[in-house]
Structure formats: structure tokens, C-alpha cells
Amino acid sequence: MASFIGRDAILTWNAVAIAGVKTKGLTIANSSIDITSGDDSGIRTLLAEAGEKTVDITCSGVAVDTALLEDAMSGSVSAVLSLAYPAGFDTLATTVSGTFFMSSFAITGEYNGAATFDATFNSSGAITIA
């Protein structure tokens, strides 16, 4: 177990590494189920399982190709996304993968700077961690 540099975590969409990424993030959300009743003396009590588990992955960087733009536009918005963390983060390399829905894609360019992009992916179905 050790820290690692962000660029060593590789984000792959449809089996191809997303190019130009500077920042990537993974958020897991578990929605709680409140089962507080009159028996709980006013203390909140939650069911010990998530009502809904969601995994959202975001990435942003410098736009260097049109792969995501074309997928976002053409309708190929659902594909296998994987985020591979390097060995060192855990004893073995760890990969989070599953089917994700590309819920947003944006590309922005200022007149005197490199064009940048950002994308958001929402999990759909089971996500594996291996």
C-alpha cells in the first residue's frame, strides 16, 4: 500500500485509453434507507444496505482527438469504462470497470490556449473491482 501519481491511473473507454487526460475522478455513492421509527428515541437509524449504489467517473484534460466527441454525438454513449490503478495503490493493480453511460461531454477552447474537454460517466449495472 502506497501513494501513487495520478497519471499512472489509466482511464479506458471502449478498450481505448482516453487521450489527453489531466484529471480523473471516481465517486461511489450509496443512498441510505432511513428506517428510523418511534422505537429509536429520536436517533436516526439506517438500513445496513444501500438503496442504490452508483459509480460516477469524471475526467478532463487537453482535447487531442475526437474519440469521445464522436461517441457523445453519435449515440455510442454506453460502453465499457475501466479505471486501472497501478500496483502500489494496493498490493496488486486494481481495476474498476463496468458499463457506463456518458452523461455529458464538453469541449472548450479559448482563442489563445489549448482546447480542453471534460466528460462524465455514470455506471449502469454491476461494477467490478478486481
Partner 1 sequence: MSALELQKAIYSKLSTDLTVSVLDNVPSGTPYPYVVIGDDTLNDSSTDDFIGFQATVTIHSWTDSEGRKQVKTIQQSIFDSLNRCTLSISGFNFVSCTQEYSETMLEADGITRHGIQRFRVLYDKS
Residue numbers at the binding site for partner 1 (CB under 8 A)? 6-7, 10, 17, 19-22, 61-62, 64, 112-114
Of 30, 7, 9, 15, residue with least CA distance to 100: 15
Check residue 46 and report its DSSP letter: B
Q: How far is the CB of 115 from partner 1 (least distance, A)?
A: 9
Q: Which is nearer to partner 1, 46 or 64 (CB)?
A: 64
Answer whether 91's CB lies under 8 Å from 130's CB: no
Q: Which is nearer to partner 1, 19 or 87 (CB)?
A: 19
- Cα separation of 20 and 85, whole Å? 17
Q: How far is the CB of 10 from partner 1 (least distance, A)?
A: 7
